[in-house]
Amino acid sequence: MGRMETEVLLKGTGKLDFSRIKLDRIRSMEVPSFVSHEPDFRAIEKGVARFRGLKNIVVMGNGGSINNIKALHGALNKGGKNVFFLSTMEPGEIGRIKLMCNRDETLVMPVTKSGTNVCPLEGLLSFLDYPMLPVTSGDRGVLLEISRRRKLDYIEHPDVGGRFSGRTSCAFAPASFMGIDIKKVNKGALEMYQRCAPNVRIEKNPALMVSSALYLLEKKGYTEVFCQTYSTRLVSFLPLITQIMHESVCKKGAGQTFYGGLGPETQHHTNQRFLGGRKNAVGLFTRVRGFDNDVEISVPKDLMDIPLRSGKLGDISGSCSEHLGFELEGVLDSTRKAGIPHIIISVKRVTPESAGEYLALWQYVGVYSALLRGVNPYDQPDVENAKEVSFRLRKGSG
């Protein structure tokens, strides 16, 4: 335990009084299904086993059905398989993937709990002659019926909401095919669940600390959260974090807008908004402390005296990991001077266990953030209308 350190820095806003937060809803909450769920590793392995010789995988889904595996793939995939994600019915993208994926070398894995989400079904129908392993509900839905009629093996999707399904077959089945150690991911998540449990005091509970700080800052007018992630591997979690926070929290006029990207790239454009624009954005910085392999930059002697900023080119000799830290420190210095509140999440090293911890942290942050605002963490009432309208239009065009 303890791979992750979370620090909340409050600069320029005055002290936030956590003691004023009413934690009744959190203290009395039931254990979330994403915590109590026990992955069926045997069923996952059995389902994936006969496809392991294939070179490619195409994962189809929307929202949590695909964002969870995108996050784990970005953090942990080592390149053993060619991985493609399809979350649209855009003809050019379907054609591109089919062009790159030979039918006899490719596993297609549509993922949807309800089995009624139209987008992955349309993708599936474009790949019906490919080897296929659906992940879907075992008792209802169109994808289940297709699996039965086509005599396809399928892996059962448990009754855990999509955005919170990162520790289920939804993400673990494709992750297993990719060669990711899902048992270690699960171990890290379980450890973080213990640290973030409702009975853990706020000063020891990273999820409650982050969600409480964001809640109090929203009440002060900070309606946006700018996420800068200084890791090419952990930035893959940003779409999932955005989904968790938007779908869980943004109801009844409450909730903050999450956006961001990879640092230091974001420093070259969105930092202008963050530091120079409206003062309604909280900074949320994620960094990695240690790297498996570092790179040393050595400037040749004949180039060292070339002028660069306030020094010379030779000044940038040194460790890439250390210099990445310098980039973040430069932004933090500007953030402090501007009096902007910010949160720093430090991950010691990106491993399957720490990826599981990071996943679990944000699951609990989403739930606690919703409960603090008095809204249901698990529904998304304003998402469904557009889906129904688009389906009615399909029926009319048919």
**Quick one: average pLDDT of 246-269?**
96
Residue 351 scores a pLDDT above 80: yes
Residue 289 located in a structural domain: yes
pLDDT at residue 381 in the model: 82
pLDDT at residue 1 in the model: 45
Residue 398 located in a structural domain: no
Q: Which domain holds residue 107?
A: 33-180
Q: Which of 159, 180, 201 is the last residue of a domain?
A: 180
Residue 47 located in a structural domain: yes
Q: How many CB atoms lie within 10 A of CB 139?
A: 9
**Quick one: average pLDDT of 273-289?**
95
How would residue 59 be classed by pLDDT, with cut points 50, 70 and 90?
very high
Collapsing DSSP to helix, strand or coil, 285 comes out as: strand
Our count of domains for the chain comes to 2
Residue 5 scores a pLDDT above 70: no
Tell me, yes or no, whether 80 and 172 share the same domain: yes
Residue 391 located in a structural domain: no
Tell me, yes or no, whether 122 and 83 share the same domain: yes
Tell me, yes or no, whether 219 and 320 share the same domain: yes
Tell me, yes or no, whether 269 and 314 share the same domain: yes
Residue 203 scores a pLDDT above 90: no
Q: What is the DSSP string of 360-373?
A: HHHHHHHHHHHHHT
How would residue 6 be classed by pLDDT, with cut points 50, 70 and 90?
low
Q: How many CA atoms lie within 13 A of 60 on its CB side?
A: 29
Tell me, yes or no, whether 67 and 19 share the same domain: no
How would residue 4 be classed by pLDDT, with cut points 50, 70 and 90?
low
Tell me, yes or no, whether 9 and 128 share the same domain: no
Residue 25 located in a structural domain: yes
Query: pLDDT tens digits for 12-54?
Result: 556 788 888 889 999 999 999 999 999 999 999 999 999 999 9
How would residue 121 be classed by pLDDT, with cut points 50, 70 and 90?
confident
- How far apart, in whole angstroms, are the C-alpha atoms of residue 139 and residue 101? 31
Residue 224 located in a structural domain: yes
CATH of the domain at 150: 3.40.50.10490
pLDDT at residue 20 in the model: 81
CA distances from 71 to 171, 294, 333, 352 (A): 9, 23, 29, 12
Tell me, yes or no, whether 66 and 100 share the same domain: yes
Tell me, yes or no, whether 176 and 226 share the same domain: no
Strands, DSSP E only, in 329-371?
Answer: 342-347
Q: Which of 180, 201, 228 is the last residue of a domain?
A: 180
Tell me, yes or no, whether 17 and 37 share the same domain: no
Residue 388 located in a structural domain: no
- How far apart, in whole angstroms, are the C-alpha atoms of residue 380 and residue 246? 9
- Whole-number average pLDDT of the chain: 91
Tell me, yes or no, whether 173 and 226 share the same domain: no
Q: Which of 180, 198, 217 is the last residue of a domain?
A: 180
Tell me, yes or no, whether 144 and 245 share the same domain: no
